[in-house]
């Protein structure tokens, strides 16, 4: 049963137009490597998803929470093998995250290293070999991830350089938001629980694995059915900024947590009450429209 109940919505489908499959750099993405005999046990104890459920060559969405269940960092976690994990970070500073994580290493045999020699690139085309949550190692040693669907393919490669193309990178970010994958910056860090960001849509957290920071809050919210807010996607023809308030008529219903501008329009994710009707949406004086969150990124 999903954590979020069905809610009334005026969202409409807003299909994303086709784009070129030429690869391009994703310079905001960086990789933090965890290695050592205790790397898996450490990740299982600290992170919100079930690392033990992954086989070598698989990945999932994951994150690190405060003891109060608020998200510090959201990332893709790749199990390379029994002693090596990669955290693919779109927003968090890997050096700062490694420094914070090291406070909990104690006597564990684990090394953390920022892998800046592994550039990240994307393409709006079908992956060569990766499928679903199974990543692939290509002939040049790069790792390939499937981040799309049959109708809207996207592939990402780690360790495969490409030329910068800011418009395509902005479109990638917009696609993330339209699929319900928030990018958390500034005041949005340590502010939201996984359920408030509707991360059950991405299968990004577990309520059944053993203890981890924030687990009690996440599990209690899930099992007591206390999820009152979740994500909606909106679009506008004028600039939007994280932290602005979304209004329905004259009533403030929630803040914008992530925004993107792909040159054609502005997109955003907002956290709002789940049961509300949402007519006449606006941000300040800017009219906005609710658009349907797309499926396809659950792993």
3-state secondary structure 200-251: HHHCCCCCCCCCCCCHHHHHHHHHCCCCCEEEEEEEECCCCCCCCEEEECCE
Does residue 252 share a domain with residue 228? yes
Task: Please indicate, yes or no, whether residues 145 and 210 belong to a single structural domain of this protein.
Answer: no
Say if CB 33 and CB 85 are below 8 A apart.
yes
- CATH number, domain containing residue 245: 2.40.30.160
Tell me if 9 is assigned to some domain.
no
Determine the pLDDT at residue 222.
Answer: 87
**Count of structural domains, the chain:** 2
pLDDT on residue 20? 65
Q: Using alpha carbons only, how large is the chain's radius of gyration in Å?
A: 19
**Would 132 be classed as within a structural domain?**
yes
Residue 160 and residue 30 share a domain: yes
Residues 169, 193: one domain?
no
One domain for residues 144 and 29: yes
129, 214: one domain:
no
Tell if the pTM clears 0.85, that is, is over it.
yes
Alpha-carbon dihedral 58, 193, 27, 290, rounded to 10 degrees: 110
Residues 38 and 170 in one domain: yes
Residues of the chain with pLDDT under 50: 1-10, 12-17
- Domain assignment present for residue 8? The answer is no
Which tens digits make up the pLDDT trace of 73-113? 999 999 999 999 999 999 899 999 999 999 999 989 999 99
Which residue range forms the structural domain that includes residue 147?
24-178
CATH number of the domain within which 120 lies: 3.30.1360.120
**Are 97 and 172 in a shared domain?**
yes
- Residue 222 shares a structural domain with residue 170: no
Q: Are 56 and 204 in contact (CB under 8 A)?
A: no
Residues 126 and 91 reside in one and the same domain: yes
What pLDDT is stored for residue 151 in this prediction? 87
């Amino acid at each position: 049963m999903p954590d979020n109940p069905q809610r009334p919505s005026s969202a409409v489908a807003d299909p994303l137009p086709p784009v070129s499959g030429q690869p391009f750099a994703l310079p905001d993405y960086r990789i933090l490597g965890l290695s050592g005999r205790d790397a898996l046990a450490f990740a299982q104890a600290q992170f919100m998803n079930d690392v033990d459920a992954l086989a070598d060559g698989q990945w999932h969405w994951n994150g690190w929470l405060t003891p109060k269940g608020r998200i510090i960092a959201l990332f893709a976690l790749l199990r390379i093998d029994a002693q090596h994990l990669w955290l693919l970070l779109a927003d968090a500073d890997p050096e700062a995250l490694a420094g914070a994580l090291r406070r909990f290493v104690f006597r564990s045999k684990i090394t953390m290293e920022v892998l800046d020699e592994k550039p990240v690139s994307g393409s709006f085309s079908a992956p060569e070999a990766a499928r679903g949550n199974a990543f692939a190692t290509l002939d040049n040693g790069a790792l390939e991830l499937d981040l799309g669907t049959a109708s809207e393919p996207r592939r990402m490669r780690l360790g495969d350089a490409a030329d910068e193309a800011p418009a395509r990178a902005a479109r990638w970010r917009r696609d993330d938001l339209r699929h319900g994958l928030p990018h958390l910056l500034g005041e949005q860090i340590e502010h939201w629980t996984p359920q408030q960001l509707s991360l059950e849509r991405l299968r990004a957290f577990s309520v059944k694995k053993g203890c981890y920071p924030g687990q009690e809050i996440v599990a209690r919210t899930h099992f007591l059915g206390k999820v009152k807010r979740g994500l909606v996607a909106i679009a506008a023809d004028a600039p939007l900024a994280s932290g602005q308030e979304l209004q329905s008529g004259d009533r403030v219903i929630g803040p914008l947590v992530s925004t993107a501008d792909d040159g054609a329009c502005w997109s955003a994710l907002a956290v709002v009450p789940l049961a509300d009707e949402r007519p006449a949406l606006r941000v300040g004086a800017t009219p906005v429209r609710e658009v349907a969150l797309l499926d396809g990124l659950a792993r």
